[in-house]
Amino acid sequence: MSDIGHFIDGARIEGGDRSAAVFNPATGQVERRVALADATILQRAVDAAKAAQPGWAATNPQRRARVFIRFVELLNAHMQELAELLSSEHGKTVEDSKGDIVRGLEVCEFVIGIPHLSKGEFTEGAGPGIDMYSIRQPVGIGAGITPFNFPAMIPMWMFAPAIACGNAFILKPSERDPSVPMRLAELMMEAGLPKGILQVVNGDRESVDAILDHPDIGAVSFVGSTPIAAHVYAEATRRGKRAQCFGGAKNHMIIMPDADLDQAADALIGAGYGSAGERCMAISVAVPVGEATANALVERLAPKVEALKIGPFTDAAADFGPVVTKASQEKILGLVDKGIEEGAELVVDGRGFRMQGYEEGFFVGACLFDRVTPDMAIYREEIFGPVLSVVRAADYEEALSLPMRHDYGNGVAIFTRDGDAARDFASRVNVGMIGINVPIPTPLAYHSFGGWKRSAFGDLNQHGPDSIQFWTRTKTVTSRWPSGIKEGAEFSMPVMR
């Protein structure tokens, strides 16, 4: 029997016969088991959602907003509990987990403004005796498929706007760290959300396929790897669903010769190695412009990388913890080996890292490569680990061309004191989120988050104004009352003159 089942119709329920192990990444030991849903479990969630959603959609937006006011209060009250629970399954430090929760909480604060955000438009006198107005109505039932690396933030990025807009929502979180999403659902109930509006169906690919197949689920949001994002988007849209799917990244940071190199080095350390590099907005490629800049940057980076403290989440002094699974550990180490084989210079080698008392944990020591070239696997592929590659560029145009030619287009940054260079870079680079002297340019909740190229599929992004558009449909009404209606049939195309 699994320890973690599902959350359906306002309560936890037990799972079925299938389950998966949930590890403590620091020890490598199985801590819990999570149920894996099939189509029958999903149908129970859909049935509960169908029963509850019409009443929730008819609830005025002020009352929907009040649920999120109370939910934000509960998140703050339970912050330490949630962060420790998150860290125990993901492996990131407790302070990093708090950041995960807070960035989700901020989207919940944003949707408290749903009475204003969901307003339509009105034109009086659009034609003789004719008024025209638009209204936003919920899609109905939405679903979210979320990754392991942000088990609090990304679920809230999805369910907060969806529910605030009047939808019911079915969350399929990662089976690697499922406990926090279950607690979020319980806290939403405590905040006053009706039963059936937010449900958690734990599972694997079988659960994802059931979501994509179900005719009553009208919209799907996904975050994960690019191959799966492309698959989910294709299958969802083929079945007539609205879809937004976000994939992988290879985020560059360009360091101009006039940049403050101490500031740039500190930014690369935090953005490249924080959360063991398991962030879709992590900087994994540093691009210094000019040999002198590159030499000075690497000289500053190497001792900082060597000094990074790695440990379990229970160590408050740790800079980062283990990666999430044994398979992730092996993939990262294999790519480091591949980088050496292809001719990159491994300046700091973290492959031999071992921690006494945690020998079976999924730890990877911090690695720093120099003289990486665009044909190497460590440059082309998303490593998703504590590995930073330095790609030297001769000039600004060569540096700009690197992120522009890469398949991924999630985030990019430039460090410079030159306003002209920064403005030109922001205007020309074909990447969705740009940082100017900001290493991780994740937009705040009232702007939208999303990449370009193979990093995103669909034309509406997460949170901010795009999220309200994604989780609603626009209905436009043209109204004329009897006093303005002429007698007799009209056969020509109507025009407003």
Within this chain, do residues 230 and 300 fall inside the same structural domain, yes or no? no
Within this chain, do residues 24 and 112 fall inside the same structural domain, yes or no? yes
Q: Could you give the 3-state DSSP secondary structure of residue 292?
A: helix
Helix ranges (H only) for 14-60 are 39-57
Q: Encoding tokens for residue 315?
A: 């160590």
* Residues of the chain below pLDDT 70: 1-2, 484-485, 496-497
Tally of CB atoms within 10 A around 142: 28
In the set 108, 165, 245, 280, the catalytic residue is 280
> Which residue range(s) make up the domain with 351?
251-436
Within this chain, do residues 25 and 102 fall inside the same structural domain, yes or no? yes
Within this chain, do residues 199 and 258 fall inside the same structural domain, yes or no? no
Question: Is 367 an active-site residue?
Answer: no
* E strand or H helix at 265: helix 261-273
Within this chain, do residues 239 and 259 fall inside the same structural domain, yes or no? no
Per-residue model confidence as pLDDT tens digits over 60-73? 999 999 999 999 99
Within this chain, do residues 153 and 267 fall inside the same structural domain, yes or no? no
Helix ranges (H only) for 58-152 are 61-77, 79-90, 94-111, 114-117
> d(Cα 237, Cα 260) in Å, to the nearest integer?
46
Within this chain, do residues 355 and 384 fall inside the same structural domain, yes or no? yes
> d(Cα 160, Cα 147) in Å, to the nearest integer?
17
Q: What is the predicted pLDDT for the residue at 234?
A: 98
Within this chain, do residues 242 and 257 fall inside the same structural domain, yes or no? no
CATH (domain of 134): 3.40.605.10
Establish if 487 belongs to a structural domain. Answer: no
Establish if 490 belongs to a structural domain. Answer: no
Q: What is the predicted pLDDT for the residue at 484?
A: 60
Establish if 491 belongs to a structural domain. Answer: no
Establish if 443 belongs to a structural domain. Answer: no
Within this chain, do residues 225 and 362 fall inside the same structural domain, yes or no? no
Within this chain, do residues 202 and 264 fall inside the same structural domain, yes or no? no
Establish if 496 belongs to a structural domain. Answer: no
Tally of CB atoms within 10 A around 43: 14
Establish if 442 belongs to a structural domain. Answer: no
Per-residue model confidence as pLDDT tens digits over 296-340? 999 999 999 999 999 999 999 999 999 999 999 999 999 999 999
In angstroms, the first-to-last Cα distance of the chain is 70
Within this chain, do residues 91 and 126 fall inside the same structural domain, yes or no? yes
Number of domains in the chain: 2
